[in-house]
Structure formats: structure tokens, C-alpha cells
A = this chain, B = another copy of it.
Amino acid sequence: MKNSFVMKGNICQTVTPTELDLHGNAYAVCIDGISKGVFDVLPEEYAALPLYDYGDALIFPGMVDLHVHAPQYAFRGMCMDLELMDWLNQYTFPEEEKYEDLNYAEKAYGMFVDALKKGATTRACIFATRHRPATELLMKLMEESGLISFVGKVNMDREASEALTEESAEISADTTVEWINAVKDNFQNTRPILTPRFIPCCTDQLMEKLRQIQMACGIPVQSHLSESKGEIDFVKFLHPDDPFYGDVYNDYDLFGKNDDIDTDVRTVMAHCVWSTEEEVSLMRKNGVFVAHCPASNMNLTSGIAPIRKYLDLGLNIGLGSDIAGGHSDSIFRAITDAIQVSKMYFRMVDESVRPLIFPEAFYLATMGGGAFFGKVGCFEKGYEFDAVVLDDRVLPHPQSLNLAQRMERAVYLGLDEKNITAKYAAGKRIQI
């Protein structure tokens, strides 16, 4: 059977948000890309499978990046002096204009995909730009990488630079339909996702057309929500009659499950820093995913999303790097950032809102975001087999460490940028 093997090493995961699930010197079994579980002693029935013995290395589930902008990788770690709306106009839109040029796109997207391949991420929800050819190129590169992703051609027909704004709602919609038809059967691991940039960049006409496209194609949706105060004020100005930002997406049936019309649109919204109670309540009802991007929210001075509250309410939540609002493509970094900002929220804003603990943040980065892709994010039986093998011998220490300490340290010290030995997505080895 293809993609069937046994992996041996120190298996570190979270199958619930509350605690680490650690198996020293254990076996993870993968049959046809699907996990059969973790075993301290290898069951006889799997004894004939190929055994990949990773010795004393750490084996984590692959990381899920629920929100990342591929074209912005080019200016990661720069331009960190503005808030969202000015940052978009001054830095982001001029860079995204360049993806009209396929040569530039090939160079830039090549670097992005290469970085993703080399890191600990196995799955991602990716924004491209508004350009169809460059988006298809990105999808081709992603497919070749072996990583598993949703990739979106961005829709935007107002409030951007002239070169980046699509000519009309019709053209934006028509291009989107052509794009979906062109890519939907082309790739195994790279699927299209409907991607209205955000409400400020999408006219009502465009949103209505996207609604119709979604209903016809049934593909999932990604966008931005309640990220920054200036943005939220602008949405209020554009849609004075909507009680909250997310309600605009909901008006066009692009906001998760809608019982009224019996649809279930898999939807992920990045940020949700300033979501009102009503908005959160609707996200919960509709099963909308939150892509929490703590580094971006710091860098763009957006604020701190109250993730503890969302967790307690049972929302779907994953982590995002949000390159280039976030400057690092490491989801390990997003884990530690999520913990840190939750501690600041507790200390500086509201001491009734407990900080996240390490297992919770690790869970968000794996099972939390993984749920957007199906059964993804751990090695329990029935889950797709995404794994990252990490050699932590590059991190010197003078004393003996237990597995929980090694796991926490690997994440805090960014071992994903230092030493990944091997990586698998749905049981297929990624060439790193």
C-alpha cells in the first residue's frame, strides 16, 4: 500500500487542549496516509510495514497555518511602522501589484513555497493576489511541494490602488469562475478557496456574485474580520445598517453554516480582535473558524484577540502566521506569541480572562486549525498523517530533560527554523 509505514521516535501531540499527550520511544502507524494510532509496542499486524526509526528525535503533528499571504512573503520583517489601512496602501498593495508579472510571481512564490516546505507547516490557507495566472502558478508550486493547502485568488473591486483593483464586480466574478474551473480538478492537495479580500475592498455587487459562485461550487471561504479599529470604522461607514462587521459576510451567505438556507460554507476569518458579542455569537452558531494571528496583531498595532473567551465559548480556532503582518512563517512562533499575548491580555486588560497554557496553544496550531481540513492535527486513529520530525540535539543543555520539557523548548526556541529531519503530509514525504 502506498504511504504506509511505521514511524518510531518520541511522539508529542495534544489530542485535547488541556494536556500534552507524550509517548517516548513509541510507534506511529500510517496506512495509506491515515493514522492508525500511537503504540508503545508495535502491534503484530504492522510488523511487516517499512519502519522509519528516528531514534531520539521529537515527532510532532504538522503545523497548520490558517492564514498566510503568499505575495507578502517578499517583504516580511519590513515596514512595521504603520497600522493596517495605511500599511495596506503604502506597502502591501504596491507589492501585490507586481504579481501581474508571472516572472516576478514565479521568483517570489518560489521563495515562499520553499520556506513553507522547509518549516514545520504541513497545511495552510493561503491568500494569493487578485491575478488569476499568478494564483494558478502558486497552486502549481504548492502542489509540487507536497504540502496541502487551500489557495485563494483574491477578489477586490474597490478601495485599493488602481493597478490592484479589479475592473468591475463582473470581471472579478467571471475571472473567479474561470479560475475555479481551471484548477478544481487539476490538483490533489491544492484546492481553491473563495477569497474576498475584506469588506472594504468588495462592493455589494461583488459580494452578491461571490454568494452565487459559492452556492454553485460549494467551495470554502476565507477572509478578514474585525482586525483593526480603523478598518472596523470604515466597514461601519460602508455598511451603516449592519449591526456588526461579520453580518456583512453573513448577508451574502459567506459566513459559515446558515440554517435558513440550509448551507454549510466552511469559513475561516482572520483576526477577530475586536469582534462584538453579537459577532462572536454568530460565529459560534455558524461554526466560523477564527485564524488567530498574534504577531500580526502586535506588529500592526491591531490589539489582542481574547482567545480564551473564544475557547470557552467553543469556537473553532486555529493559528496563522499572517505573513507579512506577521514577520515569521513559523507556527511554533505563533504558538508562543499566542501564549504571550494572552498573558498580556490577562495582566493589562482583564484579569478574569486566564492566559493560554502551552498545551492549549499547541492544540490550536494542530487540531484547532487542522479541523478546517478535516480530521487533521494528531496521530489518533483515523486522522490524516501529517508529521514533523525534529532533532533537538542542536539545542544544548547541561541536564537531563523530560519529553514535556523538550517539546516546550523546541517550540519556544524555534527548532522548526533550526533542524527538521523529515516531514510528511497525509503520509507523503515532503522533500525538504
Contact = CB atoms under 8 A, between A and B. Distances in A.
Contacts of A355: 301
Nearest to A349: B348
Nearest to A355: B301
Given A108-B398, A340-B298, A408 B78 contact: yes
A412 interface: yes
A348 B339 contact: no
Contact of A74 (B104, B107, B303, B399): B399
B111 A397 contact: yes
Main secondary structure of the interface of A (DSSP, over half): helix
Contacts of A343: 298-299, 301
Residue with the greatest number of chain B CB neighbours at <10 A, chosen from A80, A304, A328: A80
Given A348-B349, A355-B301, A398-B108, A405 B340 contact: no
B396 A111 contact: yes
Contact of A81 (B98, B357, B409, B410): B357
A311 to B, nearest CB: 16
Interface residues of A, number: 54
Interface string A211-245: 00000000000000000000000000000000000
Contact of A405 (B78, B111, B328, B395): B78
A409 B298 contact: no
A353 to B, nearest CB: 12
Nearest to A415: B77
Contact of A344 (B78, B298, B327): B298
Q: Shortest 10 CB-CB distances between A and B: which pairs? A: A77-B412, A108-B398, A298-B340, A77-B409, A301-B343, A107-B398, A77-B413, A111-B396, A327-B412, A78-B405
